[in-house]
Amino acid sequence: MENSSIHALVLTGFGINCDNETASALTRAGAHADRVHLNDISADPSLLERYHILAVPGGFSYGDDVGSGRILANRLRYKLGDPLRKFVADGKLVVGICNGFQVLAKMGMLPMLSGDFIQEVTLTNNDSGRFEDRWVTLKVEPNTRCIWLKGIKQLELPVRHGEGKFIARDEAIMDQIENGGLVAVRYCRRDGELARGNFPENPNGAHHDIAGICDTTGRVFGLMPHPEAYVDRLNHPRWYREKLPEEGAGLQVFRNAIEYARENLCAASV
Amino acid sequence: MPLLSEEQVIGAAHRIEVGMRRDLPDPAGAGVRARLAEDMGIHVKDVRVIDVYTIHANLNDDELERVRAELFTDPVIQESSIDAPLANDYDYVIEVGFRPGVTDNVGKSSAEGIADTLGRALAPGEAVYKSTQYVVKGNVDETICESIARDLLANVLIQRWVVKSAKEMQDANGASLLGLPIVTERSTIEVATVSLDLAEPELLALSRDKMLALDLNELKAIQGYYRDPAVAKRRAAAGLPAQPTDIELEILAQTWSEHCKHKIFNATIEFVDETGKTRTIDSLFKSYVKATTDEAGKRVDWLVSVFHDNAGIIRFDEHWNFALKAETHNSPSALDPYGGAITGIVGVNRDVLGAGLGCRCILNTDVFCFASPYHEGEIPPRLMHPRRVLRGVHQGVKDGGNQSGIPDVNGAIVFHERFLGKPLVFCGTGGLIPAKVAGRPSHEKAARPGDRIVMCGGRIGKDGIHGATFSSEELHEGSPATAVQIGDAITQKKMADCLIEARDLGLFTCITDNGAGGLSSSIGEMARVPGGAEVHLDLAPLKYPGLAPWEIFLSEAQERMTLAVPPEHVDAFMDLARRREVEATVVGTFTDSGRLECYYQGDLVGALDMDFLHDGVPKMHLKAVWRKPELQPEVLVEDHRLITDLKAVLGSLNVCSKESFVRMYDHEVLAQSVLKQFQGIDHDGPGDAGVIRPVPGSNRGIAISCGIAPKYSDIDTYWMMACSIDEAVRNLVAVGAQLGTIAGLDNFCWPDPVQSEKTPDGEFKLAQLVRCCEALYDVCTAYDIPLISGKDSMKNDYKIGDTKISIPPTVLFTAAAILEDVRKVISMDVKTPGDVVYVVGETRNELGGSEYLALRGQLGTNVPKVDAPSARRMYVSLHAAIAQGLVASCHDCSDGGLGVALAESAFAGGFGMQIDLNRMNVKSDIIALFSESQSRFAVTVPSRHAAAFESALVGHPFTRLGLVIPEELFRLKGRNGFDGEVSLSELKEAWQRPLRW
């Protein structure tokens, strides 16, 4: 494996369904991306060592039965807990998108304030009580530690979920998330003002308008909206009536991770 | 139902109850409370929802506590209990769970979750059962709770419930409320012999009693087969009885069902036209459907595989092919809207997965037909209120599509009072497949003698037995509940992912889905090429014991595909399936014996000659008599209320916004959408066709649209069909597609057109079908549209007692066009003030069947007609103008007419319009604004391109109507000095309000 090539593992299986476009976005952003079935990693966890980036894509793992992401979260925690801990400790990057964010939150990998796999936040039923597909505007938190969002101030992305309402276990946790630079993106209006809980700008009633958070390293990132669904102008819902850059704003998210990996991980033996 | 066994508790069971923490809101409960108020007029104070997992497994206290805490409870927001009721502060609880044998997806996932948590799988016979408790407070009593359960929360065909007061709950002290839904029936498994040595009335009685749906000619053909000395000799030699075994009779009935054999479309029809002239039509399918493809197919070079596979396949580009299919699932959706619809969508997904060597599904379409959700009349027995049907069907299609990760890209909801008798649920799917797979052309497939028959996916239960024969009859008192199934999208998703892997490894030679008729149909079909099959039914995995061989063979249990796997690949295939946690089983071998042979525990229990099975069904001979219906001509009153009328038409059910429903579909998964369903500045204007770009790195695309116009059928089905095709085509042209790139699908839904005692007007209904087919041929050949697949559902009637409701004859026409460059497509929203507004196409006095007349309680007679040859020429010119970049927006004029199209374009774009109807060459403003003349568009053009646009359209009818204006106002001038205006927000509100659910 060449030092300069960045390898991304995109998880598949059990109802994950955004694996193709997530792999395709990572490829377009410059990584070498492989879709790998969860059972193949469980059978050989050392597979993970070959990769710099792990993406847990969106989908309906286990049909959202027993709560979105719950069963997949448990499976990852029980079967791959240690390898995943090592993956992050090695300075590598993880992103969970939509159902992937729900998985990371429920397995305790985000925000992981305790340092262990203990659930501290959740994503639950939208206030509307329904699954909805709509585009939202996101504001990147100015002081965020999230390396995935470098250089981005505001972006539009689609949300497609029924359980995206972010809630922290208690105020102390919320304070640590807010004060520790762990808020990554918040829902806002098109003019940049925060949504302040108002529908549809905040599509689910998320506390503090939080759409995505990171861990204290800034390398593990979870968000409800779909950056892989806006990699090209034509993905945007108003491309036919607005002047937009050829490249979609979501692509920079993946490019940031790849650049970070290239700068920080390529010396490491991978 | 003999399946049901109440209160059969075997071994220990524990209840884990999970609910939202009391200090947090409960959106699920709030949703139920809102629906109680909206749908039933019951205003309760509070509803909370508790999820109940009944664990019927040998877990110790420690293990129970672990699964409670780690699996079932979200510690951030939920509270939970083991064997203790969680509900408090309430008046009644209603608990709803499944009946025995009904698919319980959550229960199944829970069992997998427990296995992960405890590090060991549950033992055979152990399981988790999901039920849901609704905890109600305020303004209810037992009777009200019973009706809430029956009419809102549960479906008696698949679910059970209990209602308990707070006092009763206290007394019960945490005991399980519902018996475990275990199928405990242990019927002795035997194969019966059914004597056909019967007189005609007894034969017919046999068909009726056994739900065979065979007519007398067919029964006699079967009788004749068994009386054939050669057959008798072979049977004796094989040790089979002289008379048919039950499994043989069932196989014949399902293979010969209307659903599978399309007997009406293949019948010889004596057609008497209006003048009394008679002609003979040898098969509507051959004469019109296939003839269309033969004719139009001469003018296109991209057909790959039509009619003979599970879906039509066309070329997308040199590396990829595109498959398309649409299906209906009407009868199951009438009985259980949710289960019927989810089964419909995941079923058509399997058709595409089973097309060629297996296509990956990339898009869904959905079109529903219902009676008004605001229907106020009596609901006949066994039918549900259309509002409940709508909600359930939508929820089913939503869950099926979303959970499978297949975007919904186009659809419609159509309302007509006679859909009360049977709702129509059309589900369509498109798929992509590499042109070559493992070195072979991917559309060619054939099992070979010696290939193993492998069934994979879900297990077999009694669900869905007799689905094929059931859908070949009207909905009646004895319609079986076993025909109802619930789809399991995740099991299917796992299977689909696995099969695409296996496909790319070249591990199988043939694949088809298990739909109507189950294994008997899939194996029976696949066995045609090799020339036979040997099936060992005892090898097939069952959900529960107790199924007779014929039930195993005919079960329509979902999520199953049948493959032909060469012996040398069996190990590799089975190993892959095991690693993907997909159940796969070798159930037999394809042979060249010329017979379909079924074994059970080593004994031959049935054998049928392939020739007789597939070609033995006698041809039907039917008569069709066409007479023009006598209808009242429309009465128009020029009352100059154009603005009021426009708002009313925008708010009619067939026109108004369906955004609340569409938003709930994931329409962007796979990240390929280019034009989404809702467009414009606030993403809320109705698009004409869905456009996707399915191959990363390529700007080649696919546009998908549909046309459906049952409202014209009572006037003339010829023009209903013509309008449906034209609507689908102009939706494609509106986004920039070109004639010559369009493929079509025809899905017929008809009331029974066979003359009989229960259908005294069958000859007329058949004539309506003939006229419809004539239009299909005439218009598709004029537009160069080959039909690549289609389906018919011919018994869409309701009859119980004296009440008979027949749906209006309906055809869904789905159209797909391949686009060379998706960057050139255009949307329907106006873009810039100063742009010139045109209507392109001729507006005629064609208000018959229109929304405008419907609001006045009239049908009228002047049905819109399609002048296909001149429309074709105009479409070519309009396409050229769009391709040159001259057009800013284009929106098709359909339900509601020009006024609706203009208003929608304006409010979608956020700019007003100034329109002068006097410029149009029609005699009345009502006709100008509300006639539903076909082949028309509302187009806006930047003023700098106006001259070029007009010269591009020279020779075609078009009118310059006015301008896009910066004000958010719709200004309208008409005859006799009419001058009115209305704000865009008022128009939009009129359009959005009726179905803003």
A237 touches chain B (CB under 8 A): yes
Q: Span A64-72, mean pLDDT?
A: 93
Least Cα distance to B322 among B309, B330, B313 occurs for B313
B674 to chain A nearest CA, in Å? 6
B578 touches chain A (CB under 8 A): no
- Write the CA distances from A212 to A107, A164, A223, A260, B693, integer angstroms: 16, 10, 4, 19, 28
B395 Cβ under 8 Å from any chain A Cβ? no
**Catalytic residue list contains A226:** yes
Cα–Cα distance measured from residue B145 to residue B133, given in angstroms and rounded to the nearest whole number? 12
When pLDDT is cut at 50, 70 and 90, the band that residue B46 belongs to is very high
Q: Taking all residues of chain B, what is their mean pLDDT, rounded to a whole number?
A: 94
Give me the CATH topology for the region B14-172: Mth169; Chain: A , (3.30.1280)
Residue B51 CA to residue A64 CA, distance in Å, equals 14
Contact between chains at A39 and B581 (C-beta distance less than 8 A): yes
Q: Give the DSSP letter of residue B193.
A: B
For B29, half-sphere exposure in the C-beta direction (CA atoms, 13 angstrom radius) is 23
Q: Does A117 touch chain B (CB under 8 A)?
A: no
* Terminal-to-terminal C-alpha distance of chain A: 8
Q: How near does any CA of chain B get to the CA of A140, in Å?
A: 22
- What are residue B100's phi and psi, to 5 degrees? -55, 135
pLDDT of residue B473: 64
- In this model, does residue B530 exceed pLDDT 70? yes
A66·B674 Cβ contact <8 A: no
Instruction: Give me the CATH topology for the region A7-265.
Output: Rossmann fold (3.40.50)
Total number of residues shown for chain B: 997
**Chain A from 134 to 193: CB within 8 A of any B CB:** 134-135, 158, 160, 167-169
The model's pLDDT over A128-164, given as tens digits with 9 standing for 90+, comes to: 999 999 999 999 999 999 999 999 999 999 999 999 9
Top-ranked range on mean pLDDT: pick from B479-493, B540-554, B748-762: B748-762
Reduce the secondary structure of B131-144 to three states and give it as a string.
Answer: EEEEEEECCCCHHH
Q: Point out the catalytic residue in the list B14, B43, B319, B329.
A: B329
User: What would the mean pLDDT of B180-202 be, rounded to a whole number?
Assistant: 84
Using 50, 70 and 90 to split pLDDT, how confident is the model at A2? very low
Name the fold adopted by B198-263+446-619: Phosphoribosyl-aminoimidazole Synthetase; Chain A, domain 2 (3.90.650)
What is the pLDDT at residue B189? 82
Cβ proximity of B849 and B715 under 8 Å: yes
pLDDT exceeds cutoff 70 at B915: yes
CA B889: distance to chain centroid?
Answer: 31
* Mean pLDDT in residue range B610-634: 95
- Identity of the residue numbered B241: P
Q: Which residue of chain A comes nearest to B111, CA vs CA?
A: A71
Confidence of residue B916 (pLDDT cuts 50, 70, 90): very high
Q: What is the pLDDT of residues B438-473, one digit of tens each?
A: 899 999 999 999 999 999 998 998 877 776 666 656
> Mean pLDDT throughout B193-222?
92
What is the complex's ipTM, to 2 decimals? 0.96
Is A37 annotated as catalytic?
Answer: no
Task: Name the token pair of A41.
Answer: 């990693």
**Which among B457, B461, B607, B463 is positioned nearest to B547, based on CA atoms?**
B461
Annotation says A18 is catalytic: no
Asked if A238 and B683 come within 8 Å (Cβ–Cβ), the reply is: yes
Is the distance from CB of B263 to CB of B285 less than 8 angstroms? no
- Based on DSSP, count helices (H) and strands (E) in chain B, helices before strands: 31, 41
Mutate to test the interface with B, among A18, A199, A240 (most CBs of B within 10 A): A240
Task: Tell me the pLDDT tens digit for each residue of B171-190.
Answer: 877 677 788 888 766 567 88
pLDDT category at A53 given cuts 50, 70, 90 is very high
HEC-encoded secondary structure of B534-595:
EEEHHHCCECCCCCCHHHHHHCCCCCEEEEEECHHHHHHHHHHHHHCCCCEEEEEEECCCCE
* pLDDT for A267: 62
| Token pair 């609880």: residue | B93
Q: Does A248 touch chain B (CB under 8 A)?
A: no
Q: Using an 8 Å CB-CB cutoff, list chain A residues near B110.
A: 65-66
Q: Are B804 and B707 in contact (CB under 8 A)?
A: no
In 3-state terms, what secondary structure has residue B64?
helix
- pLDDT > 70: what percent of chain A? 97
Q: With 50 as the cut, is the pLDDT of residue B741 above it?
A: yes
Residue B898 has pLDDT above 50, yes or no: yes
Chain A: nearest CA to B598, how far in angstroms? 34
pLDDT at B953 > cutoff 70: yes
Q: Do B31 and A129 touch (CB under 8 A)?
A: yes
- At CA A58, angle to CA A52 and CA A62, rounded to 5? 115
- Give kind and range of the element (H or E) at residue B323: strand B320-328
- Find the mean pLDDT for residues B926-933: 98
Q: How far is A197 from chain B (nearest CA, A)?
A: 15
Q: What is the pLDDT of residues B116-151, one digit of tens each?
A: 999 999 998 899 999 999 999 998 999 999 999 998
- CB of B668 within 8 Å of a chain A CB? The answer is yes
The identity of residue B366, as a single letter, is D
Cβ contacts (< 8 Å) between A27 and chain B: which residues? 696
Residue A206 is predicted with a pLDDT of 98
For helices B868-883 and B762-782, the axis angle rounded to 10 degrees is 40
pLDDT of B70 higher than 70: yes
Q: What is the pLDDT of residues B80-98, one digit of tens each?
A: 999 999 999 999 999 999 9
- Please state, in angstroms and rounded to a whole number, the distance separating the CA atoms of residues B78 and B48: 12
pLDDT in tens, B692-722: 999 999 999 999 999 999 999 999 999 999 9
Q: Which three-class secondary structure state does DSSP give residue B160? A: strand
Domain residue spans in chain B? 14-172, 198-263+446-619
Q: Are B826 and B784 in contact (CB under 8 A)?
A: no
**B106 chain-A contacts, CB cut-off 8 A:** 63, 65-66
Q: Does A99 touch chain B (CB under 8 A)?
A: no
% pLDDT > 70, chain B: 97
d(CA B966, CA B419): 43
Q: How far apart are CA B214 and CA B200, in angstroms?
A: 12
Chain A residues near residue B580 by CB distance under 8 angstroms: 13, 37, 39
Residue B417, both tokens: 């009072």
Beta-sheet strand order (sheet of B360-370)? B303-305, B312-315, B320-328, B424-434, B360-370, B408-415
pLDDT at B474 over 90: no
pLDDT at site B516: 84
Q: Is A76 on the interface with B (CB under 8 A)?
A: no
What type of residue is A244?
L
Q: What are B772's two structure tokens?
A: 């419809």
For B27, which of A58, A125, A132 is closest by C-beta distance?
A125
CA gyration radius for chain B? 29
pLDDT of A3 > 60? The answer is: no
pLDDT computed for residue B177 by the predictor: 79
Mean pLDDT, range B785-800, rounded to an integer: 94
Q: What's the pLDDT at A1?
A: 44
Contacts of B976 (CB under 8 A, 6+ apart): B638, B640
Averaged over B260-270, what is the pLDDT? Answer: 94
3-state secondary structure chain A: CCCCCCEEEEEECCCECCHHHHHHHHHHCCCEEEEEEHHHHHHCHHHHHHCCEEEECCECHHHHCCCCCHHHHHHHHHHHHHHHHHHHHCCCEEEEECHHHHHHHHCCCCCCCCCCCCCCEEEECCCCCCCEEEEEEEEECCCCCCHHHCCCCEEEEEEEECCCEEEECCHHHHHHHHHCCCEEEEEECCCCCECCCCCCCCCCCCHHHEEEEECCCCCEEEECCCHHHCCEHHHCCCCCCCCCCCECHHHHHHHHHHHHHHHHHCCCCC
| CA-only gyration radius of chain A, Å | 17
Do residues B975 and B924 lie in contact, with contact meaning Cβ atoms separated by under 8 Å? Answer: yes
Least CB-CB distance to B823: which of A125, A133, A234?
Answer: A234
Using one digit for the tens of pLDDT, what is the confidence trace for B832-883? 999 999 999 999 999 999 999 999 999 999 999 999 999 999 999 999 999 9
